[in-house]
Amino acid sequence: MEPDESDIWFPNDVVKANVRGDSLPKAWREHFGLTQDELATRAGIKQPALARLEKSTANPRKGTLKKLADAMGITLEQLME
């Protein structure tokens, strides 16, 4: 069976972190071994904004998630919960 566009891949450590309660942006950032400063710089946002976005209660804008996804080389869908 061939994978289709609805198949979204998540590394095991990202899934485990998300199940523990970490947001997907934080789980992916840690998966790639990036600090908040490094990812914020790559994405063109400020570190305090990233810290707020990584909270489990955050409701980030799609445009901001797209910047983060691009900065980490993943798809937007991999960052959306």
pTM, whole model, 2 decimals? 0.86
**Residue 73 Ramachandran class (φ > 0 left, ψ -120 to 50 alpha, else beta):** left
Give 49-78 pLDDT, tens digit per residue. Answer: 999 999 989 999 999 999 999 999 999 999
Q: Give the per-residue pLDDT at 6.
A: 57
In a domain, 60, yes or no: yes
Q: What is the CATH number of the domain that holds 43?
A: 1.10.260.40
In a domain, 29, yes or no: yes
In a domain, 5, yes or no: no
Looking at the 3D structure of the chain, how many domains does it have?
1
In a domain, 20, yes or no: yes
* Domain that includes residue 55, residue range: 12-79
In a domain, 67, yes or no: yes
In a domain, 75, yes or no: yes
Q: What is the mean pLDDT of residues 26-33?
A: 96
Q: Give the per-residue pLDDT at 1.
A: 42
Q: Which amino acid is at 62?
A: K
Query: Whole-number mean pLDDT of the chain?
Result: 91
